[in-house]
């Protein structure tokens, strides 16, 4: 919460074990595939209606990137943080704009947490704690995109969740978009 922008979001996962990513991952393809599916989901009215403050399609096209630090230059704290959304502020008001950076070293790309396969990590308990339902890994990537997009839309800060899981938001998105 400093200066004109603040980090407001992460992908809503709670694992904190550092790990070196494997070298051969096509990050752009993974994210573009997820965004491609999200773009289709947004055409479903009750999903698109979640994003009444923004043009979600335009946002995904222009303000989403992949890197090792968020848009303020802060390195991602761990592989458990899939993305960080930074909202714009003007006159102390949060604007329906900003940017999303996906953590290239995160589980969303590596498919592992602490060296363990994501499918082994996602026990029913972990799924429930994070609002993941029975989504498969590709769907979880799509959920992460929609989740971060909701933080851009959320000018009231209703869904702020920096540093903690956010099952209620993920459950909402799953109900409307999946």
* Interactions with Zn ion, residue window 77-96 (CB under 5 A): none
Nearer to Zn ion, 25 or 176 (CB): 176
User: In the complex, what is the shortest distance from the CB of residue 83 to Zn ion, in angstroms, rounded to a whole number?
Assistant: 8
User: In the complex, what is the shortest distance from the CB of residue 93 to Zn ion, in angstroms, rounded to a whole number?
Assistant: 20
User: In the complex, what is the shortest distance from the CB of residue 139 to Zn ion, in angstroms, rounded to a whole number?
Assistant: 17
Residues ≥6 apart with Cβ < 8 Å to 45: none
User: In the complex, what is the shortest distance from the CB of residue 147 to Zn ion, in angstroms, rounded to a whole number?
Assistant: 5
User: In the complex, what is the shortest distance from the CB of residue 171 to Zn ion, in angstroms, rounded to a whole number?
Assistant: 13
- Which position among 6, 7, 9, 110 is part of the footprint of Zn ion (CB under 5 A)? 9
Nearer to Zn ion, 20 or 135 (CB): 135
* Interactions with Zn ion, residue window 142-161 (CB under 5 A): 161
Nearer to Zn ion, 112 or 130 (CB): 130
Nearer to Zn ion, 104 or 166 (CB): 166
User: In the complex, what is the shortest distance from the CB of residue 75 to Zn ion, in angstroms, rounded to a whole number?
Assistant: 18
Sign of the CA dihedral with 43 first, then 45, 50, and 52 last: positive
Nearest residue to Zn ion, by Cβ distance, number only: 9
3-state secondary structure the chain: CECCEEEEECCCCCCCCCCCCCCCCCHHHHHHHHHHHHHHHCCCHHHHHHHCCCCHHHHHHHCEEEECECCCCCECCCCCCCEEEEEEEECCEEEEEEEEEEECCCHHHHCEECCEEHHHHCCHHHHHHHCCCCCCHHHHHHHHHHHHHHHHHCCCCCCCCCCCCCHHHHHHHHHHHC
User: x/- contact string, 11-50, with Zn ion (CB under 5 A)?
Assistant: -x--------------------------------------
Rounded to an integer, what distance in angstroms lies between the CA atom of residue 25 and that of residue 104?
9
Positions touching Zn ion (CB under 5 A) are: 9, 12, 161, 166
């Amino acid at each position: 919460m400093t200066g004109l922008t603040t980090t407001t979001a992460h992908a809503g996962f709670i694992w904190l074990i550092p790990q070196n990513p494997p070298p051969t991952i096509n990050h752009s393809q993974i994210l573009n595939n997820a965004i491609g599916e999200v773009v289709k989901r947004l055409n479903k009215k009750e999903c698109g209606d979640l994003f009444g403050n923004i043009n979600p399609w335009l946002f995904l096209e222009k303000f989403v990137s992949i890197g090792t630090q968020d848009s303020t230059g802060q390195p991602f704290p761990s592989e458990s943080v899939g993305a960080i959304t930074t909202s714009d502020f003007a006159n102390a008001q949060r604007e329906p704009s900003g940017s999303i950076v996906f953590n290239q070293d995160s589980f969303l790309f590596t498919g592992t947490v602490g060296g363990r396969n994501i499918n082994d990590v996602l026990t029913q308990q972990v799924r429930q704690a994070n609002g993941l339902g029975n989504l498969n890994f590709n769907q979880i990537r799509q959920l992460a995109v929609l989740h971060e997009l909701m933080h851009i839309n959320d000018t009231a800060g209703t869904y702020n969740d920096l540093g903690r899981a956010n099952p209620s938001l993920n459950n909402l998105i799953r109900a409307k978009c999946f």
